[in-house]
Structures are given as structure tokens and as C-alpha cells.
Amino acid sequence: MGKISARSFAITSMLYYFANAYILGSNSHAGRDDWLCMLIACVLAVPLILLLAYLAETHPGQDLFMILKQTLGNTACKIFALLYGVYAVFLLSMSLSCFSRYVCTCVLLETPKFVMALMLAACAYLFAFKGPSGIGRCANFLFSVVMLAIVLTFIASAPSAHFDNIFPIGKGDIWRGVYRSMAFPFVEPILLFSLLPTVKDGTKKRHWLIPYLVAFGILILNSMRNTMVLGDALAGMLSFPTTHADSVVGYESLEQRLEVLTTMIPAASGLVEAVLATIFASRAFDAFVGAESSKISVSITLAAGFILCMLAYGTEAALEYRSNVWPCVSLPLQILAPALCLLVRHSRRSKKAKIFLHSLKKTIK
């Protein structure tokens, strides 16, 4: 298995945070306050990022399931592996659904939805087959493409932006928006553990925190840009506000170019998200059955995610699940296993310290 640098890990994590979040954008419950919800959620999620960073730093070269097995034992590892495997498959299906829905709605209107979902799943399979090092190596190129697209769209939309549209602040359902902004398509960093076995010399806290802050800073700026361009339209149910903001720039010759640039962002970043979800789920199922990494688990994961995406595509139940149920599931799962591992680790260290002090006292006596 190839290795990647900690820098490639950081860049890949930034692409992962962008993924569907950049294009899906606005939280309809918050309206103009979408950017404020993301800002508050970004601050509140910092302890979670530090928790995962500390766990990764104290267990270099190990993914989540290796850590669980070492810390909690084989039985607990299998239980968590099954739970997180199902979680990652659902996340994969939502990622495929979001990307295919975006392309079929905003870019290639006549394209059947299953074609785009299948294409993204096929690309994810190729990268997942090569392992995390495959997506890690091409992260630099993908990141350059994404950042170029974001900068150009920001510059082009500046004449159509009106700063007054941000005000008044606090009229939307802010706290509901904050909670939703800590789940799909925004903060679900636990999938980054699938990269850890391929990172040379492990990661430090800065390799987790800095990419997170940079990515969310850009997402917040993009949300503010959407608000300044669209104004009251954000109070409606806009599926892809970033695309709507790009479409009202007012330069007919530039508009299509902006749409092409905007398409590059979910295409590149969404691929990273799909790959990480696939690898994470396949490793979870391998840990559950006690097998080594295999092509079979990758194939089963992608097939399950694709089928689930097609079954739930565009239905009201799926949208309701993503909006209201998923945040209640995702956020606790981000915290549960890592926090439990650290609690067990520190309890063992405290027991060893007590035993050492007791033996030292006996020796002195």
C-alpha cells in the first residue's frame, strides 16, 4: 500500500469538507442567516475535530477499527464496525444522490439520474481499489482545480452582490440550522480515519484543525456570497443556491463558464467524499467479519450505496430523512466511538499509575 504525506492528508480533508456542502449550500430553515449558522457550527465542532486529532495522534498508522479493537476488544469492535459500516453506506448513498440530483437538475437536464450516480460510483471504485493513497496523491491537482473555480466564481459574482442583503440578522431558525450544519453535507470528519494507515509518520493536530478551519471559512464566505446575491430568495426552498447565485451574475457569455466551473467543485470534491465513504464502510465490514481488506467488500459497499441512492432518489421521505433524521444520527456517531476509546485509554493509564504508586509506597516502606 502506497503512502501519502501529512500535507496530502490535509488537502484531501479540505476537499472532503467542500464536497456536497459547497453546492448544496443554504440551510432552508435559516434563510439569510445560513452563513451565521455555519459560523456557529464551525466553532462548536472544533472540540470534535480536536478529539479525533488527538485519537489519531496517539494511534499513528491505525484506522478507527484498529483502534477500537486494540482499545475495546474484538467483540466491541465488531459491534461498532457493523454500526459504522451501515452509517457509511447511508452517507455514500446521500453523496451519490446529491451529486446526481445536482447534475440532472442544473447541468445536464436530459441525463438520467442513474447515469451520473453510476459514473461517480465507478470512479469511486477505481480509487477505492487503489486504496486511500490513490485519492491522496491526486488531491493536490483536484484541490487546485476546486480553488481556481471558487476564486473565479467569487470574483465574477462580486458586481451582483449587495452587502445589505445580509441584514437583518437573527430572523431565521438559527439553532436548528446550527445543528443541521454539523451533519451532512458539512461536518462528518470521522471518515478521514480511513486515510490514516497510509499517512507517513502520522498526523498532528494542525493537520486536522487547519484544513477544517480553512474549508469552513471558504464555505461561510460562499454562503455570505449567496446571500448577498440572492437576498430574500434564500428564504425559499432553493436546492442549489450556489448555482442560483452563479446564474444571476448578469454576464451571459460568462454565465455558462461559471456553471462549468461550479460543476467542477462537486465533481472533484464529491469524488473524494464517495471514495472515503466507500473505503470507510468496506473496512468496517472487513473488521466485522474479521477479514483483510478485499475487493469484495468495496464492491458490496458501492453496490449497496448505489441501490439505496436509486431507491430513495428524490422522494419526500429521503429529503425528510436527510434534513431532520440524519443530524440526530450522524453527530452522536462522530463522538461515540472516539470518546469511548479515549475514556478507556485514560482509565487504564490512571489504573497503571495507581498500581505504580502503590508498589512504590510498598518499596519505600
Alpha-carbon span 114 to 198, nearest angstrom: 32
HSE, CB side, 13 Å, CA atoms: give it for residue 171: 11
| From 79-83, 139-143, 169-173, 242-246, the region with the lowest mean pLDDT | 242-246
Percent of all residues in the chain with a pLDDT value above 70, rounded to a whole number: 74
* Short-list 66, 79, 94, CA closest to 283: 66
Where are the chain's structural domains?
A: 6-364
Alpha-helical runs (H) found in the chain: 6-24, 34-44, 46-58, 64-72, 74-102, 113-130, 132-137, 139-157, 174-180, 205-230, 241-247, 252-289, 295-312, 316-320, 326-364
DSSP-assigned states of every residue in 259-309? HHHHHHHHHHHHHHHHHHHHHHHHHHHHHHHT----HHHHHHHHHHHHHHH
pLDDT at 251: 41
Residue bearing the bigger pLDDT, 145 or 46: 46
pLDDT at 292 over 60: yes
* Short-list 205, 200, 214, CA closest to 137: 200
pLDDT at 255: 46
Alpha-carbon span 216 to 118, nearest angstrom: 29
> Contact, 314 vs 101, CB < 8 A?
yes
| From 138-147, 271-280, 302-311, the region with the lowest mean pLDDT | 138-147
Q: Rounded mean pLDDT of the chain?
A: 77
Q: Which of 71-85, 116-130, 338-352 has the highest mean pLDDT?
A: 71-85
pLDDT at 351: 63
Number of Cβ within 10 Å of residue 249's Cβ equals 18
* Short-list 82, 46, 334, CA closest to 183: 334
Going by CATH, does the domain composed of 6-364 fall within 1.20.1740.10? yes
**Mean of the pLDDT values across residues 202-206?**
87
Grade residue 253 by pLDDT with cuts at 50, 70 and 90: very low
